[in-house]
Amino acid sequence: MTKTAGMVVVLLGSPGVGKGTQGVRLSRALDWAHVSTGDLLRAALRKGTPLGLEARGYMDAGDLVPDDVIIGLVQEHLAGLGPERGVIFDGFPRTVAQAEALDETLAGQQRGVDRVALLDADDSVLIKRISGRRSSASGRVYNVYFDPPRREGFCDDTGEPLIHRADDQPDTVRTRLAVYHELTAPLVGYYDARGLLVRVHAEGGIGQVQHALRGALGV
Ligand code: AP5
């Protein structure tokens, strides 16, 4: 087993590959913080904050929100956690500039990224997963094919109605996949060159992928 106090893990992978699903499970199992920039942005959007209003157009189009906005958001969030807390990043970093900013921020806390797990699945699997995704306003994620709620259309935990994310429409998904390949896939080389990358085959069931992920991370 790897020493886990203060460990920092990044989950990398295409839209819909399961970063959020796996990140939530792992953070609960290890009592680490789960930091999803997508969730932070969606929460800001729901509250109608200036950040949410700025991010909306980019998110609805499937484009990335500008680096300076995201980096500021993550730095603020990380400062509230303290350096001894294990952290799982999901959906961040997404560009080389964000990865460099994360390295710098963590160095200020006398730590760094310990492992980066690349979750890998064929595009046909991602598209099926995204088309079946339903989410609650508070962020719980289900899937009508693979992980349905007990009562169709409603969250098991809160009873809220489940929605289909605005950016899960087919045209926007195509843009998100293209943006991933252009701007985020280069991070595979960035972290591989630093000896931090582990690859996890993510086409199996949710429990199976979690088992493979924990094995690859050694946690
Ligand atoms: P974000 O929310 O991060 O979206 P994403 O990266 O496109 O990832 P997803 O949330 O679509 O997928 P996921 O991998 O988490 O899959 P999930 O677990 O839900 O970002 C949204 C937008 O915000 C971006 O487009 C951008 O505009 C902006 N943004 C966010 N971060 C940013 C950043 N750092 N920089 C700039 N802009 C940023 O699973 C998908 C579905 O499959 C679910 O229904 C789930 O139940 C199901 N499922 C999961 N695993 C399995 C399995 N093993 N078997 C069967 N079903 C499964």
Three-class secondary structure assignment of 52-100: HHHHHHHHHHCCCCCHHHHHHHHHHHHHCCCCCCCEEEECCCCCHHHHH
Phi, psi of 204, rounded to the nearest 5 degrees: -80, -170
Do residues 16 and 98 lie in contact, with contact meaning Cβ atoms separated by under 8 Å? no
**DSSP three-state, residue 105:** helix
Query: For residues 117 and 9, what is the distance between their CA atoms, to the nearest angstrom?
Result: 7
13 CA closest ligand 1 atom index: 14
Q: In a structure prediction context, what are the per-residue pLDDT tens digits for the chain, which is 219 residues long?
A: 456 789 999 999 999 999 999 999 999 999 999 999 999 999 999 999 999 999 999 999 999 999 999 999 999 999 888 888 999 999 999 999 999 999 999 999 999 999 999 999 999 999 999 999 999 988 899 999 999 999 999 999 999 999 999 899 999 999 999 999 999 999 999 999 999 999 999 999 999 999 999 999 999
Structure tokens at 94: 């997404």
Neighbouring CB atoms inside 10 A of 50's CB total: 8
Closest CA to 5 of 86, 81, 105: 86
- Which of 56, 64, 88 has most ligand 1 atoms within 8 Å of its beta carbon, as the pocket-test mutant? 64
For the chain, domains (ranges, CATH) are 8-217 (3.40.50.300)
- Which of 41, 95, 96, 211 has most ligand 1 atoms within 8 Å of its beta carbon, as the pocket-test mutant? 41
Query: For residues 218 and 170, what is the distance between their CA atoms, to the nearest angstrom?
Result: 36
92 CA closest ligand 1 atom index: 34
Query: For residues 174 and 15, what is the distance between their CA atoms, to the nearest angstrom?
Result: 10
Q: Residue whose CA is closest, atom 17 of ligand 1? A: 18
Q: Tell me the CB-side half-sphere exposure of residue 143, using CA atoms within 13 A.
A: 18
Structure tokens at 131: 């088309």
The model scores a pTM over 0.75: yes
Host H or E run for residue 117: strand 115-120
